[in-house]
Amino acid sequence: MLSKPSQSSSKSAVSKSSSDEEVSACSKGSFSLTIFCSEHIGNNFYINVLLNLEDIYFFKLVCWRVFMHTKISSVGVYSPDRILSNKDLEKILDTDDNWITKRTGIKRRRIGRKDETNQTMAAEAAKNAIANYVGKFSPIEYIIVATNTSEKNFPNSAMYVQKKLREFNDDCVLSNAGGHDTSAGCAGINVALQEADALVRSEMYDNVLVVGSDKLSFVTDYSDRGTAVLFGDGASAYVLNSIDEKDSGFLGHYSFGDGFGQNYLTCEENQDKVNIFEAFSAVEDGREPLIEKGKVLKMDGKEVYEFVISNLCELVENFKDNKKLNPLGLDFEDLNAVIPHQANLRMFKAIDRKCPGFMEKCMVTIEDYGNTSTASQGVSYREFLENAKEGDTALSVGYGSGLMFSSNLYKVC
Ligand code: COA
């Protein structure tokens, strides 16, 4: 019964339906309309119609688009084995567990091995997301990796992940799947999810893998107590698939930045630093640590703190009217979860004082992982999706270097 209309019938029907002749025919009197077949072709929906208009028969072709949405089908996480506790940091820095806990909420973080990179962690998280997938898996067609800690400028991490996935399981990714890396500071994962959703909605791809992976220990100077206590390493990955359910999956996104804040959080080349392994070796050997040259993260913590608090509060207060993020006009109170980038627990509490109810919805994992940049929301997303029911909603929010801010609104389907 289902058939695709031929190119020629389609053309003639369209020209007839728009002609003056037909308009005048319509005014003559009664008519009947019969739908005689319908069909999905790609992401479009076609209906063929037989119109009986006072003994005149027209074959009409009616077609309209089914608007695709994007579902998170599975989430994967990778965390290095090595735990670096606040007590460990007391051995190499002039700091203490009490200060770190009180000012940040962090108790421990994971640190990658020497041979682990943002790329190896990205591939492990991607494999985990695929292993966690339930149902019939369709091969990944495109890969986006959000990262700030690439050791190489090129090739990109997306192509490394593609290769590793093909080695892992030949059927899980197209052998010619393309991809790119996204750089937007710790907001990078939210920007990457926004990009992937746009690719799916535009019907370019049905199955996209999004990964956030950062090895911040690689760019941290372990002689700087103002930054060294905050960061950890990790990766998370999201398998996204197209669905043709209205108002489901990603509902909207909202990203913005302030380029005048770009000096507040940077990663600069050829700077002095003490790497984590050297810091501990020096303590063991009872000597001063050796300084090396490399990429180093530098931050004005207070400026970043203020940027995040003011913009996150504004986002919460104006949530209902933010058409880009929240086209359905949901109330903030009705959200089931907020999944913020894990930068500082004290920051979340400060927002809660201005926006009561924020903490109640806020998913917090910072105690065990610290700030893992683009990877930090994966653990919460996985937990949220495991426990959510259809229709539940979550707001994910990222912020950081740029200064950048990016948020996504998701409805479980
Ligand atoms: N241990 C002990 N003391 C420390 C310390 C540490 N690890 N780090 C800083 N201090 C000291 C400072 O030297 C300062 O001492 P002083 O008063 O004698 O000069 C004092 O603690 C206060 O320092 P300050 O920098 O004002 O602390 P803070 O309350 O602003 O907290 C951050 C610092 C970094 C925790 C906080 O600014 C922050 O979280 N900012 C946001 C960072 C962020 O989110 N970045 C990533 C975004 S992706």
Read off the pLDDT of residues 359-397 as tens digits, 9 standing for 90 and up. 999 999 999 999 999 999 999 999 999 999 999 999 999
Confidence class for position 179, pLDDT limits 50, 70, 90: very high
Residue 273 and residue 221: Cα distance in Å, rounded?
Answer: 5
What's the average model confidence in pLDDT over 186-207?
A: 97
pLDDT for the residue 33: 63
Catalytic site positions: 186, 341, 371
In the DSSP assignment, the letter for residue 67 is P
In terms of Cα–Cα distance, which of 361, 396, 371, 369 is closest to 381?
396
217-275: pLDDT as tens digits: 999 999 999 999 999 999 999 999 999 988 999 999 999 999 999 999 999 999 999 99
Residue 214 and residue 236: Cα distance in Å, rounded?
Answer: 9
Residue 222 and residue 89: Cα distance in Å, rounded?
Answer: 9
| pLDDT over 60 (residue 63) | no
b/e code 137-156 from CB counts within 10 Å (16+ = b): bbebbbbbbbbbbbeeeeeb
Give the H or E element holding residue 32.
Answer: strand 31-41
In the DSSP assignment, the letter for residue 362 is B
Provide the percentage of residues in the chain whose pLDDT is more than 90.
Answer: 82
**Residues in the ligand 1 pocket, defined by CB under 6 Å:** 95, 99-100, 103-104, 186, 225-226, 229, 299, 301-302, 304-305, 343-344, 371, 400
| pLDDT over 80 (residue 10) | no
Q: Tell me how far the alpha carbon of residue 336 lies from the centroid of ligand 1, in angstroms.
A: 32
Residue 207 and residue 3: Cα distance in Å, rounded?
Answer: 26
Residue 247: both structure tokens together: 């108002």
Ligand 1 atom with the smallest distance to the CA of 225 is 7
Residue 191 and residue 140: Cα distance in Å, rounded?
Answer: 19
Average pLDDT taken over every residue of the chain: 89
Specify the pairing of strand 207-215 against strand 140-146: parallel
Task: Tell me the best of 223, 231, 305, 311 to mutate to test the pocket of ligand 1, counting ligand atoms within 8 Å of each CB and taking the most.
Answer: 305
| pLDDT over 50 (residue 405) | yes
pLDDT for the residue 61: 54
- Tell me which residue has its CA closest to atom 29 in ligand 1: 103
Q: Tell me how far the alpha carbon of residue 377 lies from the centroid of ligand 1, in angstroms.
A: 23
Give the orientation angle of helix 97-104 with respect to helix 345-354, to 10 degrees.
40
Name which residue leads in pLDDT, 285 or 48: 285
Confidence class for position 151, pLDDT limits 50, 70, 90: confident
pLDDT for the residue 47: 59
Whether the model pTM is above 0.75: yes
**Can you spell out the DSSP letters for 81-146?**
SEEEEHHHHHHHSS--HHHHHHHH---EEEE--TT--HHHHHHHHHHHHHHT--SPPPPEEEEEEE
Q: Tell me how far the alpha carbon of residue 259 lies from the centroid of ligand 1, in angstroms.
A: 23
Residue 398: both structure tokens together: 């990222």
Provide the percentage of residues in the chain whose pLDDT is more than 70.
Answer: 84
Confidence class for position 67, pLDDT limits 50, 70, 90: confident
Ligand 1 atom with the smallest distance to the CA of 347 is 39
Task: Tell me the best of 308, 344, 403 to mutate to test the pocket of ligand 1, counting ligand atoms within 8 Å of each CB and taking the most.
Answer: 344
> Token match 């025919």: residue?
25
In terms of Cα–Cα distance, which of 62, 61, 45, 5 is closest to 203?
45
- C-alpha angle 280/285/291, rounded to 5°? 60
